[in-house]
Chains A and B, each alone.
Chain A
Amino acid sequence: MTARENPFATCHLERIPFRFPAGMSWDTLLRRLEELNWCASIVGGNGSGKTTLLEQIIPHLEARGFQPILFRLQTESGMKEKDRLADKFREVKKPGFILLDGAEQLSTRQWLPIRGAASEAGGFIVTVHRTSRLPVALEVETSSKLLKGLVESLTGGALPDGEAEILFHRHRGNLRDCLRELYDRWAG
């Protein structure tokens, strides 16, 4: 199968709507964020959908009058880039709203000035791997059942029995890596 037809191409993966755990929805998440004074963290492992959630919350925040700005920290980001982040955050004033993806990469020394610099923003949401930094608004978890559901929505078909579980365990619950492997399999 060519890249044009591959259902696991990046453009399709990026358009998968975030799937909330039972009992949660955009409404409940936004209510929880409001309770936390729009200052909270999204917690989850690698490939659990934190980034997807952060990207997809943007229109919901805009609908509430905020102007969200998404900052993304990469492993390749240098120390200076991380240190400069505080300066960039200081420029964000209400209704500006800071979304920071990958906050677990900041050391405590880097985090503290950044936390202070975000105080004038309308809100501050970060993604992290473990509970720390800010109060938790949502803990994102993955399951082989979720993987099955995603594959069905992308391909319109189901994986063979047991395949989702094998994939899920092989990639230690990292759904992004599961879907990348499926891209390669579909590519032949």
Chain B
Amino acid sequence: MIRLGLREDKTAFRPGEPIAGAVLWEFEKAPASAEVRLVWFTRGKGTEDGGIAATVTLDAPPAADTRKFSFDAPNGPYSFSGTLIAVLWSVEFVAEPGSEFERIEIIIAPDAREIVLPRIEQPKAAGMRLQRS
């Protein structure tokens, strides 16, 4: 059993703000490793991209425990959603072996609000006049 939580149940952060929380787990056996990761990934029409922005390694994890963690929200990429691409952030707890995990989706953006991109008509091809937006 895993319970992952963020302080004050906050899931939206400004760049530079602390992302703090705690994780509780109860397994039958002590995991070989346990980490809390701050992860970004894309969603949309394109093949997914992603990466781990920061990792908190929980040393010598017992079979059951509760640990606190904290990250600083990075300056980018902002959480956004457009027509083709969305960038999402999440905090994940991962224990090995067994690939036990828990995830909370969060937002990292100015004003702590996901940026939603407008969609405008495609500009015409070369040789045509541009439209005013």
Which of A6, A10, A187 is in CB contact (< 8 Å) with B48?
Answer: A10
Interface assignment of A2: CB less than 8 Å from any CB of chain B? yes
In the complex, chain B residues whose CB is within 8 Å of the CB of A4: 43-44, 81, 86, 88, 114
The answer, yes or no, to whether A29 is at the interface (CB within 8 Å) is no
The CA of A5 and the CA of B44, in the complex, are separated in Å by: 8
Choose from A3, A180, A188 the contact partner of B43 (Cβ within 8 Å): A3
Interface of B: prevailing SS:
loop
On whether the beta carbons of B44 and A10 are closer than 8 Å, the reply is yes
How many angstroms between the C-alpha atoms of A188 and B120 in the bound complex? 11
On whether A187 and B83 interact (CB within 8 A), knowing A3-B45, A10-B48, the answer reads: yes
Report the minimum CB–CB distance from A183 to chain B (whole Å): 5
Contact between chains at B119 and A3 (CB < 8 Å): no
Which residue of chain A lies nearest to B47 when distances are taken between CB atoms in the complex?
A10
Q: Are A2 and B116 in contact (CB under 8 A)?
A: yes
A169-188 to B contact mask, C-beta < 8 Å, 1/0: 00000000000100100011
Q: Which residue of B lies closest to A184 (CB)?
A: B45
Interface of chain A, helix or strand or loop or mixed?
Answer: loop
Given contacts A187-B119, A188-B119, A2 and B86 within 8 Å (CB-CB): yes
A32 to B46, CA, bound (A): 35
Cα of A187 to Cα of B83 in the assembled complex, Å: 6
CA distance A6 to B43 in the complex (A): 9
Asked if B86 and A3 make an inter-chain contact with CB atoms under 8 angstroms apart, the answer reads yes
| In the complex, A63 has a CB within 8 A of chain B | no
- Contact, CB under 8 Å: A11 / B43: yes
Report if A138 contacts B (CB, 8 A).
Answer: no
Subset of 15 A-B contacts with CB under 8 Å: A2-B81, A2-B82, A2-B117, A3-B45, A3-B82, A3-B86, A4-B43, A4-B44, A4-B81, A4-B88, A10-B43, A11-B43, A183-B45, A187-B119, A188-B83
Check if B2 is an interface residue, CB within 8 A of chain A. Answer: no
B30 → A minimal CB distance (Å): 25
- Nearest chain A CB to B107's CB is how many angstroms away? 11
Q: Does B58 contact A (CB under 8 A)?
A: no
Q: Are B48 and A3 in contact (CB-based, < 8 A)?
A: no
Q: How far is the CA of A180 from the CA of B84 in the complex (A)?
A: 11
A53: interface (CB < 8 Å): no
Q: A4-B43, A10-B48, A187-B119 are in contact. List 5 more A-B contacts (CB 8 A).
A: A2-B86, A2-B117, A3-B83, A6-B45, A10-B44
A9 at the interface (CB under 8 A from B): yes
Say yes or no: is B85 at the interface (Cβ < 8 Å to chain A).
Answer: yes
1/0 per residue, CB under 8 A from A, across B25-39: the answer is: 000000000000000
- B 94-133 contacts with A by CB, 8 A: 114, 116-117, 119
